[in-house]
Amino acid sequence: MAVYTLPELPYSPGALEPHYSGEIVALHHDKHHAAYVKGANDTLDAMAAARAAGDFATINMLSRSFAFHVSGHVLHSIFWTNMSPDGGGRPEGDLADAITEHFGSFEAMQAQLTAVTVNVQGIGWGALTWEPVSSRLVIEQIHDHQGNVGTGSVPLLVIDSWEHAYYLQYKNVKADFVKAFWNITNWPDVADRFATARAVPPTV
């Protein structure tokens, strides 16, 4: 039985144009994201089979596969809701205050998140996350879907830096994709995620 399911897009695929093409959104959601959901479910099944057989010869591969696929599912699910046809502008309220407190200014945060996303080497993501041990916002550069992150950090705003995320529209100019992303950023969604994350007590 499937543990993970592909969420519906919160808008029609073409709704984010001209900033993000409907062709990319449809492929990205229906093919790429769907593959991560299937991969996570398949890997759980393979782990159960390994336990049943008492054969853990492939457990390292399965462990990596699970981290990769479930993290891909999580990041893409957040990514879709982080964008809106009515997006753009700036955050307000507590999120705006926290960004100023932890980064100095909105512009400084935006510049750092842009830089980590554009400068991903190979495949990865840029992410604004809530780091619950120090109770602060931080920016992380995620490798693949699951590497180079602090354990416990909660992603609030994520930007896909894989070539499949932008190449059909922006070709090799990833910076233009990230620039366009800021026109469709759904700050109310990021603020909701921030409020939820901040309400959870630190793990250590």
Whole-angstrom CA distances from 61 to 40, 46, 47, 64, 68 are 13, 11, 10, 5, 11
Residue whose structure tokens are 């499937």 = 2
Q: How far is the CB of 145 from Mn ion (least distance, A)?
A: 9
Select the span of 2-10, 41-49, 153-161, 190-198 touching Mn ion (CB under 5 A): 153-161
Q: 79-138: which residues touch Mn ion (CB under 5 A)?
A: none
Select the span of 11-19, 160-168, 174-182, 183-191 touching Mn ion (CB under 5 A): 160-168
Select the span of 119-127, 141-149, 162-170, 196-204 touching Mn ion (CB under 5 A): 162-170
Nearest to 124 by CA among 84, 91, 83, 79: 79
CA distance 6 to 27: 13
For residue 171, give the amino acid letter: K
CA distance 180 to 184: 7
CA distance 181 to 77: 16
Q: Judged by CB under 5 A, how many residues of this single chain contact Mn ion?
A: 3
Residue with smaller CB distance to Mn ion, 130 or 162: 162
Per CB under 5 A, 177 contacts Mn ion:
no
Per CB under 5 A, 160 contacts Mn ion:
yes
Residue with smaller CB distance to Mn ion, 7 or 152: 7
Residue with smaller CB distance to Mn ion, 132 or 155: 155
Select the span of 90-98, 99-107, 128-136, 164-172 touching Mn ion (CB under 5 A): 164-172
Q: Which residues contact 12 (CB under 8 A, 6 or more apart)?
A: 22
Per CB under 5 A, 161 contacts Mn ion:
no
Residue with smaller CB distance to Mn ion, 137 or 159: 159
Question: From start to end of the chain, where are the E strands?
Answer: 124-131, 136-143, 154-160
Binding site for Mn ion (CB under 5 A): 160, 162, 165
